[in-house]
Amino acid sequence: MKKKLLSALLACSLVGALMVGCGSTSSDSEKKEEAKTEEESKEESDEVKITEGRKIVIATAGTAEPYSLISDDGKWTGIDAEIWDEICKRTGWTYELKQAAFDAIWGELDTQRADVCANCWAVKEERTDKYNATIPYYGDAQCIIVADDNKDLYTLEDLKGKTVGITNGQAAQTIMEENAKKYDFELKLYEDTAVGMKDLSLGRIDAYANTTSNVLNYEHYNEGEKFRFFEEDLMANNVAYFLPKTEDGEQLTKEINVVLQEMLDDGTIGKITEKWMFKDMTELIQK
């Protein structure tokens, strides 16, 4: 009798142990599933979501193609115009243009009268220190040009005593100001690149510092006017949009980046730059 009772108790204990064991396995599985769900939720929350119904105020000089030109009737053309038309098409956003002098655009960001600065701006440390920059949407180079038939000027040293033009606010301006002191030449500022290049063609200045893309574009639309590039570029640079370093500016930068990356991946921006600059400038983006 005692043996039967002992066997029964052992059997119950074994069943209980098995039940506890099953319960423990189920609990571990649930915890793993919960952890997985939490991780997936975190990943989803980390994804940048495009805000619906945004209206973006874009500040631009709007003075010259291929970058940005606002005509007398208010039509916006150029690289930035086509890129922003496509951004709005993909997001459902709208934009309002605010035209400002080339070197005054930054004030529109500082006072938050504009959300984005768009004029094919080069990425420079003094800009990224103060503003948010999007991912680069194409690459370019800062160069020095002279008249095609010029046989005297080939290097910075040759510019001593000469007059060199540059667009006010352009990426190479700081470099050229330093070079002007070092190599003893005069720097003349222009508000309009096309006016500066025309002066170079007419012999009113000796050289001009500008971007490779802008020079190629000018030559394309001004038949008979040719320039010779100095062999050494001043600098290579990426081009991006700039936004205020505010909470809203940071979020908008992230959202714009998502769309720009899509447009880079599918070749849309490459085609736009090739249309305006006669080359896929996305291939020149500095990594």
Residue 188, strand partner residues? 165
Domains of the chain (ranges plus CATH)? Answer: 55-139+239-284 (3.40.190.10), 140-236 (3.40.190.10)
- Nearest of 100, 62, 101, 67 to residue 82 by alpha carbon: 67
Instruction: Name the H helices within the chain.
Output: 2-46, 79-91, 105-110, 125-128, 173-183, 193-201, 212-221, 247-265, 268-277
Q: Whole-model pTM above 0.75?
A: no
Q: Count of H helices and E strands in the chain?
A: 9, 13
| Residues belonging to the chain | 287
> Which pLDDT value is given to residue 238?
95
In the predicted model, what is the mean pLDDT of residues 137-162?
96
In the predicted model, what is the mean pLDDT of residues 145-172?
94
Looking at residue 210, its amino acid is N
**Does residue 22 or residue 195 have the better pLDDT?**
195
> Which pLDDT value is given to residue 77?
97
> Which pLDDT value is given to residue 20?
36
Longest CA pairwise span in the chain (Å): 123
- Summarised one tens digit per residue, pLDDT across range 45-71 is 358 999 999 999 999 999 988 899 999
The pLDDT of residue 44 is above 50: no
The pLDDT of residue 38 is above 60: no
Sign, CA torsion 280/282/285/287: negative
DSSP 8-state secondary structure symbol assigned to residue 159: G
- CA 147 remoteness from chain centre: 32
Phi, psi at residue 198, to the nearest 5°? -65, -40
With cut-offs at 50, 70 and 90, classify the pLDDT of residue 221: confident
The pLDDT of residue 256 is above 60: yes
Find all residues with CB under 8 Å of 266, minimum gap 6, and list them.
Answer: none
> Which pLDDT value is given to residue 30?
47
> Which pLDDT value is given to residue 35?
52
In the predicted model, what is the mean pLDDT of residues 164-182?
91
What is the rounded distance in angstroms from the CA atom of residue 66 to the CA atom of residue 240? 15
> Which pLDDT value is given to residue 17?
41
> Which pLDDT value is given to residue 236?
86
- Summarised one tens digit per residue, pLDDT across range 1-34 is 444 444 444 444 444 443 333 333 444 554 455 4
Is residue 25 within a helix (H) or strand (E), and if so which, with residue range? helix 2-46
What 3-state DSSP class applies to 166?
strand
> Which pLDDT value is given to residue 197?
96
| Mean of per-residue pLDDT scores for the chain | 86
C-alpha R_g of the chain = 30
